[in-house]
Chains A and B, each alone.
Chain A
Amino acid sequence: MSTHQYVVTAHKPTAVTSCVTGNFTSPTDLNLILAKNNRLEFYVVTPEGLRPLKEICIYGKVCVMKFFRPKTEKKDLLFILTARYNTMILEAIGEGDNLEIKTKAHGNVADKIGKPSESGIIAIIDPESRAIGLRLYDGLFKIIPLENCGELKATSIRMEEIQIQDMEFLHGCPSPTVILIHHDHNGRHIKTHEISLKDKEFVKTPWKQDNIDAEASLIIPVPEPFGGAIIVGQETILYHDGTNYVAVTPPVIRQSTMSCYARVDSNGARYMLGDMSGRLFLLLLEHEEKMDGLQVVKDLKVEVLGEVSIPECITYLDNGVVFIGSRLGDSQLIKLNIKPDSKTNSYISVMETFTNLAPITDMVVVDLEKQGQAQLVTCSGAFKEGSLRIIRNGIGIQEHATIDLQGIKGMWPLKMGPSKEFDNTLVLSFVQQTRVLSLNGDEVSETEIVGFQSDCQSFFCGNVNHNQVLQITSVSARLVSTDSKQLIHEWKPPTEKNISVVACNKLQVLCATGSDLYYLEIGDKIIDQKAHAVLEYEVACLDVSLLDTGTEKASIAAVGLWTDISARILKLPSLDELNKEFLGGEIIPRSILVTCFDGINYLLCALGDGSMYYFNLNKETGILSEKKKVTLGTQPTVLRTFGSSTNSTNVFACSDRPTVIYSSNHKLVFSNVNLKEVNHMCSLHAEAYPDSLALSNDNTMTFGTIDEIQKLHIRTVPLGESPRRIAYQETSQTFGVITMRLDVMKASGLQPARNSASTLSTNTSSSAATMFKGAVTAPALDIGQETEIHNLLVVDQHTFEVHHCHQLMPSEYALSLVSARLGDDPRTYYIVGTALVNPEESEPKAGRIVVFLFEESKLTQVSEKEIKGACYCLIEFNGKLLAAINSTVRLFEWTTERELRLECSHFNNIIALFLKAKGDFILVGDLMRSMTLLQYKTMEGNFEEIARDFHPNWMTAVEIIDDDTFLGGENSYNLFVCQKDR
């Protein structure tokens, strides 16, 4: 029997590798096109911002994407080259929903021979659209003349220059002319070649310039009237037009390397440059007019505009708005401002960010709330864009309208007048004020209900029986006619005390004034007080929801009390106590709710710290069982029921981490909502907003609908440095994270290049180099040089605050991390595997395995073991520690003296990079020799190699699917499955 595996993409690629702007979908549409690995996203620029049009999947990795416009075309065509040398020219036809993408031309341009260039694929298009130039292999330049008909024949031209850094077509040349930066043993040089399209040859070299900036890497061709090109180097920026040149050496560009640019003006006067540290620059060509009317470049000006995500590509959109495409961090839509921000001195304001998970270097799957809803925590991004991303399934709210309103304290929908089906009124409560909004179509206007008291805060408003609405304020309960809107009846508490907490359904009302509880019933034009009880302590929260949809009257009510922190079930109408449950702790219950999910009755009780208890409830006896606790947020939580179109009950928990609670297979599911904060909510079924929710936070009110299905939601915890490994430790409720930051040598010694998670931690410790005999002395650094500093961070699982940062030795690279319990030792340790890197050695010859204990908010080193190589991977293996060290796999025991002792080793690898274990089986992923399966022989105390994949796969990840099936990932972006031969 053969089994098959299949792969489902849970999240599409998010790193932007290329972006272009042009008129693609019509001659007037301004389009932004993003390339994300194998996907293209098409947007159109509108007054409201970027509007998504289409997403296209192609079979290949987009390497180069460029717009060009032949003279005969009114709009731009898109040229794409993939990593496997497939080329295509795409054109958009039709508009709106009928948009079709037509492949005008396509073909493969790979050669059978040729050495793929180390500096990557270069593809350039002549500004007059006469030809496409490709540099795919060293020493060869491939040219595709762009003819209107017939086949497009790509022809290779031999090129003397082998190591080419960058290449572009020059503007304003009678025949296509390329400019290139090439590298030889003397340094870097620029050279131009004029191409004869007829002979497919370089016919002459119009000009060249030897020995330019030693790190020159970027060519910017300058359009007419200036012509020529700008060469960007590490220290200099050079403009050269063949006869004249201008060079500048602005000190500000030296800190990092320019990686991408975007032209701002069509005449080529201004450019934006982005560097690898995430700074955005403006480059300006200052020009003058010569006597003969010729425009000449006089000077170059370079100014820092501010900081953005580390850019991979930049494109200017319109009216000062720029798209920053990032591979290492979130892409951004930014605006260039004429005036700098007074605080940051930046000329940039970020309009929108586009979440990017890439590059994910490690991840863990955890179930923090123990609700069976696992989430993924990833080490994402790099350098200043480094972050942890918490990815979980959640429910989305589609926003339909928002209104800026501050300080909403409560919201209720009403059906006023003749309306029977739709809500047409929304009551909003504020401190000392109640306002009424009328909903007419999608128009929202303020109105008044005469019978309402508008100069105080409402605790409840709602339609009740007999065409009446009820408003409860701190003073009284007011019954108002839906037709006349006049006050019909008013109930006031018999004492002078103010009403503090209320709960209502269509017929029954509970009002509490301190510890006095009143039970009222609503009749035709009357509010009847039916019962009064004095409770032990003041009432904190109340609920009188209906459990059965068939009935009108609830037979029980739920109360949460101050002081003794208890939840009580009272019988109605007598208010006799059926049951009480002490919740424990010191946090006051803030919201209580009885509800029925899937035929099971529950009591939910949310506390002031964002946690919530829930119980199964017997509605006859009031007995609570199966007490469970869940953390929903960190702020007081308000529980509200709402119906969804499927008619099942849902509960919305309003807090700083809004959650929807529902039942699936008789189990409660707590699903995150993609909103930052919700203080209050109510369901709303208005004509223009059917089956909607009204939600409010501190500043705004939103009308929206809720997704039926869960989607992935991503939360970002920025670190500001590169995360490398992550491990979860349940016992200490923490994550261990290995990070790398860059420190710069200053006159005063090494200093962090910028503030990040490891430098901002309050508790720190470090491994001193002198403590360890195997330590390599760190190479002396020149001032301005950067060095990598590796750290172990201990991060709180709830707040993601860094509890502790341990800095490793200079030149010590942390490569692996595991949280493990070893032997009979009851404690759980964080164990870090490192390598001591000496730049002169081809592979590390020394390293450490360091055992840390995190206890009572303190990280202490328990043990360390010197090893002869780099520890690439650590896993827990049957109470022992299994390590991949250079070419070996080694098993360590944990002795009673709390030291690691080598038990056995396996040697048959080039470099063992990855380990996974299941029972006695160990799967080893090798640098270039695919996967090996080992079995640990308990009796003999050694490893036996029982299976091996003999294909030369360069591994990037391994996993055990089951005892016979193994999953591997390799460096050509393939997943493959191996089965054990039986």
Chain B
Amino acid sequence: MSVTDFLKGLPSYNENNFTKYHNDGGIRNNAKRPSVYLPTVDHPSDQVIVTEKTNILLRYLHQQWDKKSHHKKRDHLNLEAVDEAGSRKRPRLDNGSSGSSSANPAAGHSSNDARH
């Protein structure tokens, strides 16, 4: 197959497009410029794009914890009560889910840790 065959049947969206293209005997320079758009009406945007501020490591740990605690609840519903009565350290669940910005001071360190 030749290039000619490859170039056959190029897609057409509207077969009239470019049919009346006026080419005045060679290459022309385009002098036309679109008019400048000046917004006069204020369209409030429907949605806002926000970037999550939670540190990746913290998010990962919370996710893991959520999974774990979920498993525990299901598998060892009885044992958990005993465990909680013990002196083991445990995470503070109350502010964990909101991903507050208070986690930020540790940000640099913990993101490095996550890579190791």
Contacts and interface: CB of A to CB of B under 8 A. Distances in A.
Interface stretch (A145-153, A407-415, A554-562, A627-635): A145-153
A151 B3 contact: no
B112 to A, nearest CB: 10
Given A30-B14, A102-B43, A108 B63 contact: no
B102 interface: no
A110 B45 CA distance: 20
A336 B11 CA distance: 12
Interface in A830-877: none
Interface in A403-431: none
B30 interface: yes
Contacts of A886: none
B54 to A, nearest CB: 8
B7 interface: yes
A264 B10 contact: yes
Interface stretch (A317-325, A448-456, A639-647, A888-896): A317-325
Interface in A5-57: 12, 30, 41-43, 45-50, 52-57
Interface stretch (A173-181, A349-357, A531-539): A349-357
Nearest to A21: B13
B89 to A, nearest CB: 26
Contacts of B114: 158
Contact of A55 (B11, B36, B39): B36
B29 interface: yes
Contacts, number: 187
Q: Which of A87, A149, A303 has the most CB of B within 10 A?
A: A303
Contacts of A142: 51
Nearest to B15: A319
A735 B114 CA distance: 60
Contact of B27 (A158, A301, A353): A353
A321 B7 CA distance: 12
Given A45-B17, A57-B36, A107 B46 contact: no
A492 B56 CA distance: 100
Interface string B1-36: 101101110111111111111111101111111111
A102 to B, nearest CB: 4
B34 A55 contact: yes
A320 B20 contact: no
Contacts of B31: 396, 674
A199 B24 contact: no
Given A52-B34, A55-B36, A47 B17 contact: yes
Contacts of A270: 6
Given A158-B56, A353-B30, A105 B3 contact: no
A1 interface: no
B17 A54 contact: no
A71 interface: no
B107 A113 contact: yes
A120 interface: no
A43 B17 CA distance: 13
**Range, interface on chain A:** 35 or more
B36 to A, nearest CB: 5
A104 B46 contact: yes
A699 interface: yes
Interface string B41-70: 101011111111000100110010000000
Contacts of B49: 87, 105-109, 144, 151-154
A interface: dominant SS? strand
Contacts of A301: 1, 6
Contact of A47 (B20, B30, B39): B20
A108 B51 contact: yes
A700 interface: yes
B29 to A, nearest CB: 6
A107 B51 contact: yes
Contact of B13 (A30, A89, A305): A30
Nearest to B4: A338
Interface in A97-149: 99-113, 139-140, 142, 144, 149
Nearest to B43: A102
A45 B12 CA distance: 12
B30 A354 contact: yes
A355 B107 CA distance: 49
Given A45-B18, A54-B34, A154-B52, 12 more contacts: A104-B47, A109-B51, A113-B108, A113-B111, A150-B47, A154-B50, A270-B6, A318-B12, A320-B7, A321-B18, A354-B29, A396-B31
Interface of B: 1, 3-4, 6-8, 10-25, 27-37, 39, 41, 43, 45-52, 56, 59-60, 63, 104, 107-108, 111, 114-115
Nearest 9 interchain pairs by C-beta:
A107-B49, A52-B34, A105-B47, A102-B43, A318-B17, A47-B20, A54-B37, A154-B51, A55-B34
Interface of A: 12, 30, 41-43, 45-50, 52-57, 87, 89, 93, 99-113, 139-140, 142, 144, 149-158, 199-200, 264-266, 270, 282, 284, 301, 303, 305, 316-321, 335-340, 347, 350-355, 396, 402, 674, 699-700
24 contacts: A47-B17, A47-B21, A48-B22, A54-B34, A87-B49, A99-B37, A100-B39, A106-B49, A113-B108, A151-B48, A152-B50, A154-B50, A264-B10, A282-B3, A282-B7, A301-B1, A303-B3, A318-B13, A318-B17, A319-B17, A320-B7, A353-B27, A353-B30, A354-B30
